[in-house]
Amino acid sequence: MASSLIDPLRSLGRAVVDYALPPRCAGCGEVIEEAGAFCPPCWNRMEWLGSEGCERCGLPLLATEADTCGRCLADPPHLHRIRAAVAYDELPRAIALNLKYGRKVGLARTMARYMAPLKGAWDDEALLIPVPLHRWRIWSRGFNQSTLVARELGRIWRMPTPNNALRRIKRTKPLKGMSHSQRRKAVAGAFQVGDGSELAGKTVILIDDVLTSGSTAEACAKVLRKAGAVRVELICWARVVRPSQLMR
């Protein structure tokens, strides 16, 4: 009886909110029909990646019928599977920055919406773990953007998102402008499994906003696998697919 009354009230509430505050494009702010979506011009500006590409790292495979790229065959990453919703470019970058520094936390739901189709064939005990920030960074910013996205995905996928399963114990300098080897060195020893975390035999899905060189995610995966995780994947909003973008 209660639910039969609550649902119509929720629908009415949404209608009132939409009338007073109409949905706007997450990219340009133009009024659109559906919240958490993009207008056609912004949609067409983005390179949607989906589940195609190298079965391991997810990078696009051009002019080949191979399932795995040469780099992953030569030097397999600690991550068993990497997937991103869009290629890193001007608009996806702006959306990530608006969430991270502009405090537009509603964008976490938008990101999660387009990351959700990248779900893998995981067992019921798989865990979602956001790539952590150092406590000083959280105190200054007020939140971890990856945690916000992970919570939205946990709600969509109905999967647990344990708190403090992975911690960042080393405060590192911003990685922007560093080479791949410099980034890898900077994050070495930066992560630690949280107290009481039971990861043995588990599949762990790391959640992040942007993947650049992959050094941070690889450092996380290395620690998680050492703690007993049998499989570690990464799903993010945007990823660099062109090396020239790494130094931005």
**pLDDT tens-digit profile of 118-140?**
999 999 999 999 999 988 888 88
Q: What is the pLDDT of residues 81-110, one digit of tens each?
A: 999 999 999 999 999 999 999 989 999 999
Domain check: are 25 and 56 in the same one?
no
Rounded to whole angstroms, the Cα distance separating 62 from 231 reads 27
User: How do beta strands 203-211 and 127-130 pair?
Assistant: parallel
Same domain for 141 and 71: yes
Pairing between strand 166-168 and 191-193? Answer: antiparallel
Q: What is the pLDDT of residue 18?
A: 45
Stretch 180-209: mean pLDDT, rounded? 84
Average pLDDT for 72-77:
88
Same domain, 25 and 100: no
Q: Taking 70 as the threshold, does the pLDDT of residue 21 lie above it?
A: yes
Position 203 pLDDT exceeds 80: yes
Residue 11 domain boundaries: 1-45
- Could you tell me if 148 and 212 lie in one domain? yes
80 and 5 within one domain:
no
**pLDDT higher for 71 or 94?**
94
**Are 27 and 141 in the same domain?**
no
pLDDT classification of 185: cutoffs 50, 70, 90: confident
Query: pTM for this one?
Result: 0.85
Same-domain check for residues 41 and 111 = no
Helices (H) and strands (E) in the chain, counts: 9, 6
Mean pLDDT, the chain, rounded, equals: 85
- Considering only CA atoms, which of 41, 34, 98, 70 is closest in space to residue 237? 98
174, pLDDT greater than 80: no
Is residue 10 pLDDT above 70, yes or no? no
Query: Does 117 lie in the same domain as 21?
Result: no
Give the model's pLDDT for residue 194. Answer: 84
Which one, of 212, 247, 177, lies nearest residue 88 by Cα? 212
Separation in Å, CA 51 to CA 60, 114, 143, 186, 207: 10, 12, 29, 30, 16
In total, how many domains does the chain have?
A: 2
Whether 17 shows a pLDDT value over 50: the answer reads: no
Asked whether the predicted pLDDT for residue 48 surpasses 60, the reply is yes
Would you say residue 2 has pLDDT above 60? no
CATH number, position 183: 3.40.50.2020
Shared domain check, 3 and 119: no
How many of the other CB atoms lie within 10 Å of CB of 62? 7
Which tokens go with 127?
Answer: 């865990």
Percent of the chain scoring above 90 in pLDDT? 54
